[in-house]
Amino acid sequence: MTTFKNETIWIVGASSGIGRALAEHLSNLGANLIFSARRQAELDNLNQDLGGAHKVLPLDVENEEDIQAKFQHIRSNGIEINRAIFLAALYEPQKIADLDIDHCEKMFKVNVLGCFSFTKSMLALMKEQKQSSLKQIALCGSIAAYTGLPNGQPYSASKAAVQNFTESLKAEAPKNIDIKLISPGFIRTRITDKNNFPMPFMQEPEDAAKAIAKGLKSKKFEIHFPKRFTVQVKLLRALPYWLALPLTKNLK
């Protein structure tokens, strides 16, 4: 069985959905966890459910000062992070003609700028750690980032930015810091509850957690699931525009 014993893993976005399921799964596999999200009460409940041995660290990734304060807390307490997993995200399905620009701004502050800021600080922190220690940064994109889909804006665009950023991070990061891109399909969470269209190959958060945990230990850059769905979307992305765009237009 895969084990994460004695590893310290920081999960941002752990209060619900994939993040909570991943926290439960990694805890069962022996990890020492740091839980972050805006809702402290849900983090406290999660920690209590897992025996109370983990660390709760509330974090608002929309707030740059809060991000820096939490990294200062990590340094001040001499905590060495082995793996950092950024799952925080906002989502609202919108057609381009009906975009709420204020909501778009908030979404990009969380999904993109929050991710960028957290990653920059985490990269600096890991460079300060012992050269021999395990170091990994995993950022969550989405299969929605693969290609522009109907009703996908602005969430798809924000996740496309994260995907591109993670690819650049992989190219720039030191060899001793492993970089992973997480690309989930449709997972039954508060996010997908907002959708009013068919969602093929829907998975439960527990399935996503197992796929992510397995992928974190692999040598592959991207952790994408379920493959029977993600491979189809990858093929659509690989087509030339003259063929792909008419197919995309007909997707519902």
The model scores a pTM over 0.85: yes
Per-domain residue ranges of the chain: 8-249
Instruction: Say which CATH topology domain 8-249 has.
Output: Rossmann fold (3.40.50)
pLDDT of residue 127: 93
Strands 55-56 and 222-225 come out as unpaired
More confident residue, 193 or 162: 162
pLDDT digits (tens, 9 = 90+) for 66-77: 999 999 999 999
Question: Per-residue pLDDT for 203 more than 90?
Answer: no
Q: What is the spatial distance between Cα 36 and Cα 98, in angstroms, rounded to a whole number? A: 32
Rounded to 5°, angle at Cα 224 from 121 and 43:
50
Asked whether 34 and 125 are in contact (CB, 8 A), the reply is no
* Assigned token pair, 54: 């983990």
- Residues in contact with 83: Cβ distance below 8 Å, sequence separation at least 6, in sequence order: 7, 8, 9, 10, 134, 135, 136, 137, 138, 216
Question: Per-residue pLDDT for 4 more than 90?
Answer: yes
Q: For tokens 């796929």, what's the residue?
A: 211
Cα–Cα separations (whole angstroms), residue 78 to 73, 136, 137? 9, 18, 19
Asked whether 90 and 111 are in contact (CB, 8 A), the reply is yes
Tell me the pLDDT band of 90, cut-offs 50, 70 and 90.
confident
pLDDT of residue 83: 97
pLDDT digits (tens, 9 = 90+) for 16-33: 999 999 999 999 999 999
CA 5 to chain CA mean position, Å:
22
Asked whether 92 and 194 are in contact (CB, 8 A), the reply is yes
pLDDT of residue 153: 75
155-158: long-range pairs with CB below 8 Å, 24+: 155/89, 155/90, 155/91, 155/92, 155/93, 155/107, 155/111, 158/89, 158/107, 158/108, 158/111, 158/112
Q: For tokens 């958060």, what's the residue?
A: 205
Residues in the chain: 252
- Residues in contact with 211: Cβ distance below 8 Å, sequence separation at least 6, in sequence order: 223, 225, 226
pLDDT of residue 210: 96
Q: Which residues pair with 16 in a beta bridge?
A: none
Q: What is the spatial distance between Cα 27 and Cα 205, in angstroms, rounded to a whole number? A: 15
pLDDT digits (tens, 9 = 90+) for 104-161: 999 999 999 999 999 999 999 999 987 767 899 999 999 889 988 776 678 889 999 9
CA 58 to chain CA mean position, Å:
17
H helix count then E strand count, the chain: 9, 7
Question: Per-residue pLDDT for 80 more than 80?
Answer: yes
pLDDT of residue 152: 66
Tell me the pLDDT band of 193, cut-offs 50, 70 and 90.
low
